[in-house]
Amino acid sequence: MKCNYYLIICQYHLPYGGSQFSPMADRIQSGAGPMIMPTPPQAGGLQNYSFDIEAFANGYGMDVNIFMNDDNPLDEIFQRNYQSLQNQMQGLNKDDGLRNLGLSMSSVSPSNTESSVDNTTEGTLQDESKLLQHSEKNLSKNKQYFIDSGLLDDIFGSVGIRLEDLPFDAKLSIEDRVSFYLYSYWKHFHSQFTFLHKPSFDTKSAELLLLVAMIAVGACYSFPDTAEILAKDYKQSPEFKFTLQIAKPLRFAIFEHEDFKSPVKLWILQSLNMLEWIEKNFLTRRMHERAHLHHGTTVQLLRRSPILGGNPTQKKKNQSTSNSSSAAEEESELEEGANSSDNNDRDLFDKWVESESMKRITFMTFYLDIIDYVKFRHNPQILFYQLQLLNLPCDDESLWESNEVSGSFKKVVKRQRKLQEHSGNFKKKKPKTDNFLAALKKLLKSYKLIDVKNKSIFSQKILLAGLISLMHQMQQTDLQNSSSLLSNQSSHANNKVWKEMLIRSFDNWYFEVMQDNESLNSAGISMFSLPNRNVPFPIFYLTQIIGLPEVNHYDIAIYAGSPANQSVDATLKDHFIVQQKLNNIWSKTNKNPENIRCIFYCYSLLCKLMLNDDGNALDWKPNCDYYDAMNCISSATLVLWSYCFATCGLESHRYVEQTQNVEALKYAEDGYKYLNRIKESLLDPLPEKMTSESIMKACEKLPSIPNKQNISGLCFLISSKLITSQWEIIREHAKLIFNCGLRSIGKRTILCQDLFTNEFK
């Protein structure tokens, strides 16, 4: 049901009445007199704007100019109630809004300062205990994470940091702490992204700046309980301070290194990818933006390396043709290695490790590039077909991570042949390896996914990224066709075909690949508690929620109440246009199935993370969640709230603008109970072996499920968890989600005023 036009108009509130894009801003701030209210538009269209809302809805999250002209008729309406709403807000302390409302709503929040101090002390003691236990492992035989005093001085000297400036208690060994961070890197990050060769890695021979990057990643993955406790007191954890301290100079130390040139050295790419990961996903907004600005540098270095045109460690043969590829050369190398002498066996092994490492870091760069399109609305710079000549990474367990074959290329070849015989891909003359493009084509077909199911987690992530890249390419083609003067009905029909094909491909991934990994992917990979074992690939859900449908990040941020997006102020016109677009996307007349499927996957993701199979609550902790689930769950909640608010309206009118009393904000339904009720109606009736048809039947039930608008309790629950994250971006999401909950119970003002305020000490 569509929201009443006059009700929406009365709810608008903007602190400056517009932005540099709105000519009405100066008039509102100067207190200009009232103007004549324009005639409201009739249901079903926007009479004040001469543009095609359907064409605008196909922007797919790209950066497009949504300002149609210099006139903003909505400002005339907002001017009338602006002053009264501004007066209402004067009694409300903006800085205390989430401090009073957010954390205290969490059942795990400390009730007073004394208990908070006790929890912090307990967390510190637990951390010290882990470090003392690890000191017994910091030995030279553990070459992957051994740190002594000499190496420690060299590591921090490479980025110009003195040991006495580190934010740690002096009574614990710095060497053991840094060694623990490296151990955490191998335990958590490497288990998902295996682009370093662990069996041959040695801290004594590794590049110092590479070690700094690994230490920074490991620190982000360490001591999540302490991070949560300190976040509730608006304090940064020691690991957060430490990571920020070394990440700031690390990028420029890499840029100034003599190896920072083309053709790029392997360790440079590895370091830049790790640094980008922590800058974007763990630190401050400023570091997040810095990583996006410098991402193009990493991609450009990769473009200027031989990897995209051939194997950098393989010498060209005289008889090689111009059609030789990385995959073909790799197969030739395996044949050569089988007949090699003992003298050059080690040399061939070292070349193989370097070649495989370069291929893996290329795929890692591609993965980071394309998932940022889904996570943050940043346009990708690497396209899937640019990697078509590369083979997928070799088997992790039997080859890459195996200590049995380490050091001997002959053993690698023998093991590889056994694997190929077992998979049925062995030929007498020439072993067949897995080409990236060929594997991607298998995903596009609705059968025989056994080869994909048997791949490593890293390879499965790469193939999922390939599907997302293909989706992006088709969306760009669709956008160009809809904007072109040459577009016709046949092009629109083709768009429908590729969407249906991709939907089935993603569904097959979900049914055949992801569900098989639900009990395997997260199990045993963490030294901490991970309650999200049922979500091995969170980015898959985000693709269904905000990648494939017509809804995008910009729409959701503005509709939820963000005062700006990507450093550009949001105007009243922006909010009005977004509202009309979302109403169109989720209207009964919209026949695009992906728009309603995204709501199905919102509920599916939230239920899997927050509930067990019996419907009981799970204690999901953002600080223990390292693989994109934080970002996915926040986006899913915002999209779900937007759908419920746009189609079902307000939950209640309990909210009072001047109140600072949390107890007065009663929600209609607890967040866990709300999810369990929806789960019983929507997800539980699904067959154990799901199909695309069964999902669509479930989506048809969505409109008939009652009281979907009772979502404020879920918003308060999710925001109270996300606000305990040390990551500044996620805390902003928590504030925005909390603002959505308040709006559901009657908050009239739209904007989240303190969204970009960092309360951390």
State whether the Cα torsion 573-577-580-582 is positive or negative: negative
Residue 5 has pLDDT above 70, yes or no: no
| 287 — pLDDT class (breaks 50, 70, 90) | very high
Least confident of 49-63, 128-142, 442-456: 49-63
Q: What angle do CA 366, 367, 371 make, to 5 degrees?
A: 120
Q: Return the beta strands (E) in 541-654 as ranges.
A: 564-565, 568-569
How far, in Å, CA of 245 to CA of 48, rounded? 52
Q: Return the beta strands (E) in 389-489 as ranges.
A: none
Give the mean pLDDT of the chain. Answer: 76
| 7 — pLDDT class (breaks 50, 70, 90) | very low
Helices (H), 454-571: 457-483, 489-508, 515-517, 538-542, 553-560
State whether the Cα torsion 63-66-70-72 is positive or negative: negative
pLDDT tens digits along 177-225: 999 999 999 999 998 999 999 999 999 999 999 999 999 999 999 988 8
Tell me the pairing of strands 568-569 and 564-565: antiparallel
Please give the residue that has the higher pLDDT: either 242 or 424: 242
At residue 494, the 3 state secondary structure works out as helix
Residue 325 has pLDDT above 80, yes or no: no
| 646 — pLDDT class (breaks 50, 70, 90) | very high
Please give the residue that has the higher pLDDT: either 270 or 103: 270
How far, in Å, CA of 665 to CA of 746, rounded? 10
Other residues' Cβ atoms within 10 Å of the Cβ of residue 594: 19
Q: Which stretch, 240-249, 451-460, 591-600, has highest mean pLDDT?
A: 240-249
Side-chain half-sphere exposure of 330, counting CA atoms within 13 A: 27
How far, in Å, CA of 493 to CA of 75, rounded? 40
Confidence at residue 294, expressed as pLDDT on a 0 to 100 scale: 94
The label of the residue with tokens 């001017």 reads 79
Least confident of 350-364, 385-399, 431-445, 732-746: 431-445
Q: Span 718-732, mean pLDDT? A: 91
Q: What would the two tokens of residue 176 be? A: 């053991």
Q: What is the largest CA-CA distance in the chain?
A: 91
Whether residue 15 is preceded by a cis peptide bond, meaning omega within 30 degrees of 0, is no
Confidence at residue 157, expressed as pLDDT on a 0 to 100 scale: 94
Q: What would the two tokens of residue 334 be? A: 């395996």
Confidence at residue 347, expressed as pLDDT on a 0 to 100 scale: 87
Q: Span 57-86, mean pLDDT? A: 39
Give how far the C-alpha of residue 489 lies from the chain's centroid of Cα atoms, to the nearest Å.
Answer: 36
Q: Span 248-253, mean pLDDT? A: 96
Please give the residue that has the higher pLDDT: either 493 or 552: 552
Confidence at residue 718, expressed as pLDDT on a 0 to 100 scale: 94
Confidence at residue 711, expressed as pLDDT on a 0 to 100 scale: 93
pLDDT tens digits along 412-450: 888 888 877 766 554 444 445 578 888 888 888 766 666
Residue 13 has pLDDT above 50, yes or no: no
How far, in Å, CA of 9 to CA of 40, rounded? 10
Of 278, 133, 272, the residue nearest 219 (C-alpha): 278
Whether residue 739 contacts residue 752, with contact meaning beta carbons closer than 8 Å, is answered with: yes
This prediction has a pTM of 0.81
Residue 259 has pLDDT above 70, yes or no: yes
How far, in Å, CA of 294 to CA of 208, rounded? 21
Residue 726 has pLDDT above 60, yes or no: yes
Q: Span 9-32, mean pLDDT? A: 32
The label of the residue with tokens 């950098």 reads 312
Of 721, 710, 627, 621, the residue nearest 673 (C-alpha): 710
| 295 — pLDDT class (breaks 50, 70, 90) | very high
| 722 — pLDDT class (breaks 50, 70, 90) | very high
How far, in Å, CA of 650 to CA of 747, rounded? 10
Please give the residue that has the higher pLDDT: either 167 or 321: 167
**618 Cβ contact partners less than 8 Å away, ≥ 6 residues apart:** 531, 609, 610, 611, 612
Residue 313 has pLDDT above 70, yes or no: no
How far, in Å, CA of 733 to CA of 728, rounded? 9
How far, in Å, CA of 481 to CA of 488, rounded? 8
Please give the residue that has the higher pLDDT: either 453 or 46: 453
Residue 46 has pLDDT above 60, yes or no: no
Please give the residue that has the higher pLDDT: either 50 or 738: 738
How far, in Å, CA of 327 to CA of 436, rounded? 9
Q: Which stretch, 37-46, 115-124, 205-214, 594-603, has highest mean pLDDT?
A: 205-214
How far, in Å, CA of 232 to CA of 147, rounded? 33
Confidence at residue 120, expressed as pLDDT on a 0 to 100 scale: 52
CB-count exposure of residue 423 (10 Å: 0-12, 13-18, 19+): middle
How far, in Å, CA of 117 to CA of 113, rounded? 6
State whether the Cα torsion 460-464-558-290 is positive or negative: positive
| 518 — pLDDT class (breaks 50, 70, 90) | low
Alpha-carbon dihedral of residues 344, 347, 351, 353, nearest 10 degrees? 120
Confidence at residue 215, expressed as pLDDT on a 0 to 100 scale: 97
Confidence at residue 338, expressed as pLDDT on a 0 to 100 scale: 54
Whether residue 263 is preceded by a cis peptide bond, meaning omega within 30 degrees of 0, is yes
| 51 — pLDDT class (breaks 50, 70, 90) | very low
Summary count for the chain: helices (H), strands (E): 30, 2
Confidence at residue 617, expressed as pLDDT on a 0 to 100 scale: 87
